[in-house]
Structure 1
């Protein structure tokens, strides 16, 4: 993955959340710069024992055109085996994620060094403000482990500013004088 196009600062890390994580907040530590993808500093994301499912919600601070993603999993069959992706939803839980058709899904390979990149159908991933990653299964371990996730694409910052507007319940004509307006009435116009 080209580090220039890897989206690292666009995530709202505080709002990242995961259902079924063994340690609350550990999902925030798997988003690292590309050159630190193999680092073992910080906790990895683990599912609860005997339940390999994970549902990760990642909000962005702007609009993203997602081109690819990388997932590095744990050893001994704990890497995720499947991935279903949903975009711009805030209401997903496990039952909804299993019932809804994903925007795209992949059969994953065990990827320990981050060299496997999963391309997206780019036309479906324009204007992404949040992404939900549903990992329903792993390669046979009791729990799923993820040590790194990266998104590749284009990021545009949200430009939101307050708009100042004054509304009048009843307009007062003397408040809105038009230069030369008095002469128009005299000319018969």
Structure 2
């Protein structure tokens, strides 16, 4: 499949049918150590806007502390194939990314001490042409994704303009399960009556 690699996808339509943008639960997206509260929500946008570096589309860590932790819940369970991150210039791009799945409410201490599902050494992806492939078998039935960016390329802050997720969404949220009740041993007296003379059962009309 196009774009499922760690090199340029300029020759492909990476906006694709595989974007998980529309499956993100934006009301619950959050970040730790963001300099402006709520700014993390602005980095999730359609592929064709990934190079929008306006101030309205920037997630930045607090000055002197480059670490960021981004929590991304979904409206349905998803399978994640790849992740793309567009960072800032001047050493402010994140240099490492660590991923945790279905772990709500973790903080920096948890993230530093827990074993991630996968981690990547990142390149400066200023033109948005890199995607990092997941170990796909580990990224099935993902209700939420937490991304830990522990360091950058030497800048005083970490800047992220875009986070792109590609994969597939399932039909149902994990906690919305249809319940079917079967009547295993119906009481015949509730539905039927003895037929005259035959001793058998017949339906009551």
- 1:74 lines up with 2:88 in the alignment: yes
In the other structure, the counterpart of 1:8 is 21
**Could you state the TM-score of these two structures normalised by the residue count of structure 2?**
0.81
Measured in 2, the distance between the counterparts of 1:43 and 1:32 equals 9
Measured in 2, the distance between the counterparts of 1:40 and 1:55 equals 20
Describe the shift of the 1:186–1:152 C-alpha distance in structure 2 as closer, same or farther (beyond 3 A).
same
CA contact (8 A) 1:61 1:157 kept: no
Describe the shift of the 1:80–1:187 C-alpha distance in structure 2 as closer, same or farther (beyond 3 A).
same
Name structure 2 gaps, 5 residues minimum: 4-13
Describe the shift of the 1:107–1:183 C-alpha distance in structure 2 as closer, same or farther (beyond 3 A).
same
CA contact (8 A) 2:29 2:72 kept: yes
CA contact (8 A) 2:78 2:167 kept: yes
Measured in 1, the distance between the counterparts of 2:197 and 2:156 equals 86
Measured in 2, the distance between the counterparts of 1:184 and 1:19 equals 77
Give the CA deviation at 1:3.
1.4
CA contact (8 A) 1:73 1:145 kept: yes
CA RMSD across the alignment: 2.6
In the other structure, the counterpart of 1:96 is 110
**Secondary structure at 1:57's aligned position in 2?**
strand
Measured in 1, the distance between the counterparts of 2:97 and 2:180 equals 45
Give the CA deviation at 1:40.
2.5
Instruction: Tell me how many residue pairs correspond in the alignment.
Output: 183
Residues 136-151 of structure 1 correspond to what in structure 2 (within 5 A)? 136-151=150-165
Name structure 1 gaps, 5 residues minimum: 166-170
Give the CA deviation at 1:80.
0.3
Measured in 1, the distance between the counterparts of 2:196 and 2:146 equals 63
**Secondary structure at 1:97's aligned position in 2?**
helix
Give the CA deviation at 1:187.
2.6
Residues 39-188 of structure 1 correspond to what in structure 2 (within 5 A)? 39-41=52-54, 42-158=56-172, 160=176, 176-178=190-192, 181-183=193-195, 187=199
